[in-house]
Structure 1
Amino acid sequence: METSPFDLIEEYQTEDIMSVNHSRTIQRISFYLERYDDLYDILPELEMKLNGKPVKPDVSVYPNLPEDWDTDVIFITEPPIIAIEVLSPKQAMTDITDKINTVYFPAGVQSVWIVVPLLQTITIRTPDGQKLTFSEGIIKDPVIGIEIPFNQIFRKRSV
């Protein structure tokens, strides 16, 4: 009997459980990456099949894709340049690292950002084994050089 790689909690897969901080983090990263819109498509929650395996990064970065408003694609099969994964509240880190090693890198993803809201860290991994961890300053992707200010992702608004 084959077991699911994800635990079920109240009929949801753990990677599908969203929270306020998880959603806020995805929104802020997408917002700051939007400045690169002339070069890249910043696509949150895009369904894809890479090497036949379904995955859905929280944010994907592609070179600008052709725009065709008459025809849509449900499962894209081309890998993004960057896949950004935000750790969900009930998700194990190994869920993400397994996906990186067995799906993303073998399919051709060039860098993966692992965002941990609880620890307020972002680690960028590349297929050659490079690991860059940020907890302040400017987050700079080593593959394509895009940058976002760390302090704006985990900022606290005064109410």
Structure 2
Amino acid sequence: MTTDSLEFEEWLEEDFEEEISVSSINHALVQTHLIKALPDEQFTVATELSLDMSSSERQAILKKYHVQAERELKPEVCLYEADEIDYLDPDLEEDDVARMEKSPLLCIEIVSPSQTSAHILRQFWVYFAMGVKSCWYVDPNLKLIKVYSSPKHSKSFEEGEVVDNVLGIRLPLNKIFFKKSLREVSSL
């Protein structure tokens, strides 16, 4: 075996799992429903936006909470104040941004088959250390949302509304966890 193939195999064994996220149908649909339900007149809703983790300060935060990321973390959904980020117009010679330095107000992580709860919760510690105000842990299979106002304080929502008192957000859970066929029948 050559050195290159050994390095590739080591990368596959050690790093590849961290670099890919295996999604599922429930994960994808819940992410879509969240995006549609979040208040976009007050906030800018972004999906899979890379947060820049390359600074020495942010690398120290990653190390402290045992989260591996060389250059970026990518929450499934995040929110910024409406006027903080907007579509960049190439006609105005604005360059697109590959990784955001500014921390969002909210980071949402949706449990997927490739993630553990412990991994997501370690990421929440990192997000809060970066100045994020609120984090949501979403479990599509349990139809559960836990809203974290700090790494040690959360409230679980399984029916009615999910309420984020930090950001003043209220969303009916039936807009996030639903079967389309059942929703169409109930709206008749």
Calculate the TM-score normalised by the size of structure 1. 0.84
Larger radius of gyration: 2
Cα distance, 1:145–1:78 mapped onto 2, change above 3 Å: same
Moved over 3 A (4+): 11-15
CA–CA separation in structure 2 for the residues paired with 1:77 and 1:22? 27
2:170 aligned with 1:150: no
Report the counterpart of residue 26 of structure 1 in structure 2. Answer: 31
Cα distance, 1:14–1:138 mapped onto 2, change above 3 Å: farther
Calculate the TM-score normalised by the size of structure 2. 0.72
CA–CA separation in structure 2 for the residues paired with 1:106 and 1:157? 38
Q: Name which of 117, 124, 131 aligns with 1:100.
A: 124
Q: Is the contact between residue 23 and residue 114 of structure 2 (CA under 8 Å) also seen in structure 1?
A: no
Aligned residues: 149
Give structure 2 stretches of 5+ with no counterpart.
1-11, 60-68, 183-188
Cα distance, 1:121–1:110 mapped onto 2, change above 3 Å: same
Secondary structure of 2:32's partner? Answer: helix
2:154 aligned with 1:134: no
Residue 122 of structure 1, CA deviation: 0.3
Q: Is the contact between residue 51 and residue 101 of structure 2 (CA under 8 Å) also seen in structure 1?
A: yes
2:100 aligned with 1:76: yes
CA–CA separation in structure 2 for the residues paired with 1:81 and 1:15? 25
Structure with greater helix percent: 2
Q: Is the contact between residue 14 and residue 90 of structure 1 (CA under 8 Å) also seen in structure 2?
A: no
Equivalent residue letter for 1:90: S
2:66 aligned with 1:43: no
Secondary structure of 2:167's partner? Answer: coil
Identity of aligned residues (%): 30
Secondary structure of 2:181's partner? Answer: coil
